[in-house]
Amino acid sequence: MSTSGRLDYNKMYRLNDPIASKPLRLSYEGYSDWLTKEQAIELFRGRLALNAPLKLGAYMGGKATDFLWSGLVPLVCISNRVFELLRMNNITGWTTYPVEVYGRRGEPLPGYHGFAVTGSECRRDRSRSQVITKQAVPGGKPFEMYKGLYFKEEDWDGSDIFRVSSYGGTIVTEKVYKILKRAKVTNVKLTSLPEVELQVLLDKYDHDL
């Protein structure tokens, strides 16, 4: 999809795990030990069909929230409330898969769906990012960060939810941002793309470079 000269990155957002301590964090271990990391990626991209719900149990936190993140990064669950918000507003670029979620005491937590992103995977464009130097603590060793997340716009299929490769993550349009914010959806971080920061160090692990 050609978007040259029309795409406003200030109106696109990275959807991410806020790394909060109180919400439940899920694990497949002890519940779905057959799952591999490769299968989890295929699930997250909507390319793997399940014959039965994927079982996930909480291993950290205690609060059931709208987004439930996991120790295996591609696995994300959304509440039925988020499911309905996306469905009723005709949001594109996503699907779900069946899950069974259990709390810290092993109790069933109904009303969750596995979340998958089916929108296009766009190549990251580092040339438009600013390289800045930061320190974790005063006097600590400095490290470099890319500020601003950009992508090859010709790769985008126009979906409301899509991916950017090379650690770019899940991206949503302003339409999705407004829907989630208006509904006060919990346990999700939304950052405008010009404000996203990614470590330059990650480049050494990027097989696409």
Instruction: Please give the radius of gyration of the chain, using alpha carbons only, rounded to the nearest integer.
Output: 18
pLDDT tens per residue across span 118-163? 999 999 999 999 999 988 777 778 899 999 999 999 999 999 999 9
pLDDT tier for residue 2 given thresholds of 50, 70 and 90: very low
In a domain, 4, yes or no: no
User: Is pLDDT above 50 for 41?
Assistant: yes
In a domain, 94, yes or no: yes
Domain that holds residue 133: 9-200
Q: How many domains does the chain have?
A: 1
Amino acid (one-letter) located at 116: A
Q: What is the pLDDT of residue 1?
A: 53
In a domain, 22, yes or no: yes
In a domain, 2, yes or no: no
- Answer with the residue of higher pLDDT: 165 or 6: 165
* Residue 106, CA distances (Å) to 94, 132, 154, 163 in order: 29, 45, 46, 33
pLDDT averaged over every residue in the chain: 94
Global confidence as pTM: 0.93
Query: Which of 86, 117, 122, 116 lies closest to 98 in space, CA to CA?
Result: 116
Asked if 67 and 77 touch (Cβ cutoff 8 Å), the reply is yes
In a domain, 1, yes or no: no
In a domain, 149, yes or no: yes
In a domain, 206, yes or no: no
Cα 64 to chain centroid distance, Å, stands at 18
For residues 207 and 153, give the distance between their C-alpha atoms in angstroms, rounded to a whole number: 21
For residues 129 and 147, give the distance between their C-alpha atoms in angstroms, rounded to a whole number: 6
